[in-house]
Amino acid sequence: MLANIALIVGGYLFGSLPFAATLARRSGADLSGETDMHIALWHKVSKVQAALATFADIVKGCIPLLIGFGFDLSTAVVTFSGVAAVAGQMWPPFRNWPGEKGNTTGAGVIITVALIYHAYLILLSLIPFAIGAALRYYSLASGQERFHKPTHPLALALPIGMFVGFAVAPIASWCSGQPESITLGLLALFIIIVVRRVTWNLKGDVEGGGNVVRILANRFLFDQPSIDGGAK
């Protein structure tokens, strides 16, 4: 029992470590007001730093699961330690750090679960991730300023891809006959990703005016309150 609790709590604390923000501070950049640390690093620091932050966040989703699996803990505890790591990244215990979106760490969880439990069909959920990320980074690398806007269709491919990928993961787990604990863990992962999308700084967006239903719908699908003018 103590080992189970230690892994879940440890996963949460490990996931809360602000690797991206630390890389930014070491480079002299302040990303405290940014909504996407990896993209902000790409723009304000360097592509190498953005890649390092992405790798570090993926690892945050891998380590707790590998530790739990190595100590032969139950499938449920191992899977939910990854969910805890994502929760830690999104809702850290530090007052001066608002957290991140959890997408990259969540992808690390999916990859690790699929590999250690031979649940390879779950890896299909990475396809929407990859497509969305490729289109987003293509837009960032473009010389045209309009492609850099987060509301441009190429940019919107990333949040849509993430949404679809996290939704596919528990479905793929269930369809391939994986243990119920894995399917429920991946479902919990999808739920907390959506909750963070919908609730982060929601009060500020609502107080700023606009249709509340539209704001919620845009947050749910696109991870931002408005997409007006995205195709201009």
Q: So where are the chain's domains?
A: 2-222
Q: Which residue has the higher pLDDT, 109 or 28?
A: 109
Average pLDDT score, the chain: 87
Give the separation between CA 32 and CA 97, rounded to whole angstroms.
Answer: 8
Question: Region 129-141: what's the mean pLDDT?
Answer: 84
Amino acid identity, position 38 = H
- Angle formed at CA 226 by CA 224 and CA 230, multiple of 5 degrees: 105
Above 60 in pLDDT, residue 82? yes
**Exposed e or buried b for every residue in 10-42, given b needs 16+ CB within 10 A?**
bbbebbbbbbbbebbeeeebebeebebbbbbbb
Give the separation between CA 102 and CA 21, rounded to whole angstroms.
Answer: 14
pLDDT per residue over 42-79, tens digit each? 666 677 777 788 898 999 999 999 999 999 999 999 99
What pTM was estimated for this model as a whole?
Answer: 0.88
Closest CA to 114 of 164, 62, 74: 62
| CB contact at 8 A, 87 and 15 | yes
Question: Region 100-105: what's the mean pLDDT?
Answer: 91
Give the separation between CA 185 and CA 204, rounded to whole angstroms.
Answer: 31
pLDDT of residue 22: 76
